[in-house]
Chain A
Amino acid sequence: MAVTTARATPALDVARIRADFPILEQRVNGKRVVYLDNAATSQKPRQVLEAMQRVFEEHNANIHRGVYEFSERTTAAFEEARAKVARFINAPSEREVIFVRNATEAVNLVAYAWGRDNIRRGDRIVTTVLEHHSDFVPWQQLAKDVGAELVVVDVDDEGRLRRDQLSAELRKGAKLLAITQASNGLGTVNPVREIAAEAHAAGATVLVDAAQAVPHTPVDVQVLGADFLVFSGHKMLAPPGSGAVWGREALLERMRPFLYGGDMISRVTVTKTEWNELPWKFEAGTSSYVDAIGLGVAIDYLCAVGLRAIHDHELMLVAQLLSRLEAIPGVTVYGPRTVEDRVGVVSFNIEGIHPHDAATIFDREGVCVRAGHHCNHPLMTRLGVPATTRASMYLYNTVDELDRLVDAVHKAKKVFGV
């Protein structure tokens, strides 16, 4: 399908992009919606919605099973989506791309299928306080189950990873480094390429949680040097239910399956089962194949706009928002104060107003932000706050929308008399 809406230009044609997202025309409480919760999930362009609709209307059938045309067409579209994902992250082979429902399922796949055979009593798993619960709880529980040690590397007061501490911990030896490429709570980007090299030198396998990176910045698994990389589709214009694990073929080949059942087998007798080849060995049951096809179309869209241009646009928005928020008395911004090594996430609090109260007032103004712990309890504890208010930007957001957010901050302060 052709994506004709946006071309790679130095600056984004945001008006043109916005025309592809019908939801952005919606009104909330009588005001045009300002959607700034993209780190939670992104909106979907017409191109994705229509492509999925077409599957259902024109050739829906289960994949890898039928010998009739519908099934063959749907299977081809599904496998084409896999090829798009592989190209998008520069995977050496499509066999290394496994479709899952989301990044959480992706990490669990690795924790069960790789972790349980490779992490043993006394081994060390190194991770960071920046991790989303999805890249934290699976390792915490694995460590508990097998008697391994979970080492959690701290951040500095600006929310940047303590590289000195990380290096020291890796030097003590580690079996696994599980690290986020970009923090969903603060927007910090970790220098994963250098860190992965360091971790490999220490003998560790490296899993990169790229859920907040792949949608916002070019990601090349071969440049990063990771062993596993995971992300969700719904944060990158694709439907919920789509996501992927990329893993090195040699590792995936040696791993046991994650889920057992249909499609992941090559032969079943009453006493034993042989597994299907990669990547299908890890795709038991009927996949969310229409969602995966939607992910392929979302990738087309992002590529047509250009990831570099999207990243630059977000950083421009971050710079604008940081300077506006810092000018408001009583507002505290958490995380890096500069746009260096950052994605479009800005966390803040207003003194005297709980984030939930702030977000409720913002909602009255039609402004959607996240208020809470962002699936980041350890990070919130580290920051010494129960919760923050988080604005997260994407390709369709504008400076005018940031002004609406800032107006809403002033409104909240007025209501609370602070």
Chain B
Amino acid sequence: MYRDYILDHYKNPRNFGELEGATHSYHDSNPLCGDELTMSLRIGNGHVDDVRFQGKGCAISQASASILTEEIKGKTLDEVKAIDRDQVLANLGIPISPARVKCALLSLKTLKGAAWGLTAWPGEEKK
């Protein structure tokens, strides 16, 4: 499960940090694991001009987010909205055990929230 490229994305996350001029930003977590993610997008003309993520947690959750940011740069918002769980799991390229699927998919959940213009899970937005 811990192939070199997964560990590489975990230790050297791509597109990590704050995004200046972000138009879309969403935060979510897996409270049971303590995984946290924020995904920020800068959308212009319906395209993802730039993306950054911030977070902490297990290698699977963080590597999944890092890989996803590489995948979506330059895509249209509609293409981002169409990404599904199978694609995210396929991007990881390793068998994910049932107990760890939640870790792997936190990135997708966070990206979808951002893409659809939410800031957090409805009802849990920062007051």
Instruction: Using CB atoms and an 8 Å cutoff, list the residues of chain A in contact with chain B.
Output: 353-357, 360-361, 364, 372-373, 377, 380, 385-387, 415-417
Contact = CB atoms under 8 A, between A and B. Distances in A.
B32 A372 contact: yes
Interface stretch (B52-60, B76-84, B107-115): B52-60
Contacts of B85: none
Contacts of B59: 353-354, 357, 416
Contacts of A373: 32, 34
A110 B1 CA distance: 45
Contacts of A386: 33-35, 57
A378 to B, nearest CB: 13
Interface in B38-77: 57-60
B33 A387 contact: yes
Contacts of B34: 354, 373, 380, 385-387
A377 B29 CA distance: 15
Given A354-B57, A417-B7, A372 B2 contact: no
Contact of A354 (B7, B11, B58): B58
Interface residues of B, number: 16
Nearest to B1: A360
B2 A356 contact: no
For A360, A373, A415, the residue with the greatest tally of chain B CB atoms inside 10 Å of its CB is A360
A372 B33 contact: yes
Contact of A357 (B32, B58, B97): B58
A298 B11 CA distance: 48
B103 interface: yes
Contacts of A354: 33-34, 57-59
Given A357-B59, A377-B31, 11 more contacts: A356-B60, A357-B60, A360-B1, A360-B97, A361-B2, A373-B34, A380-B34, A385-B34, A386-B34, A415-B7, A416-B2
Contacts of A380: 34
Contacts of B1: 360, 364
A385 B57 CA distance: 11
Contacts of B35: 386
A413 to B, nearest CB: 12
A357 B33 contact: no
26 contacts: A353-B59, A354-B33, A354-B34, A354-B57, A354-B58, A354-B59, A356-B33, A356-B58, A356-B60, A356-B100, A356-B103, A357-B60, A360-B1, A360-B2, A360-B100, A361-B2, A372-B33, A373-B32, A373-B34, A377-B31, A385-B34, A386-B35, A386-B57, A387-B33, A415-B7, A416-B2
For A356, A364, A387, the residue with the greatest tally of chain B CB atoms inside 10 Å of its CB is A356
Contacts of A417: 7, 11
Nearest to A373: B32
Contacts of A360: 1-2, 97, 100
A415 B10 CA distance: 12
Contacts of B60: 356-357
Nearest to B103: A356
A40 to B, nearest CB: 13
Contacts of B33: 354, 356, 372, 386-387
Contacts of A364: 1
Interface string B88-104: 00000000010010010
9 cross-chain pairs, A with B, having the tightest CB-CB distances, nearest first: A386-B34, A354-B58, A356-B58, A357-B59, A357-B58, A415-B2, A387-B34, A356-B33, A360-B1
B57 A416 contact: no
B49 to A, nearest CB: 32
Nearest to A416: B7
A29 to B, nearest CB: 11
Nearest to A380: B34
B104 to A, nearest CB: 11
A356 B117 CA distance: 31
B57 to A, nearest CB: 6
Nearest to A363: B97
A360 B7 CA distance: 14
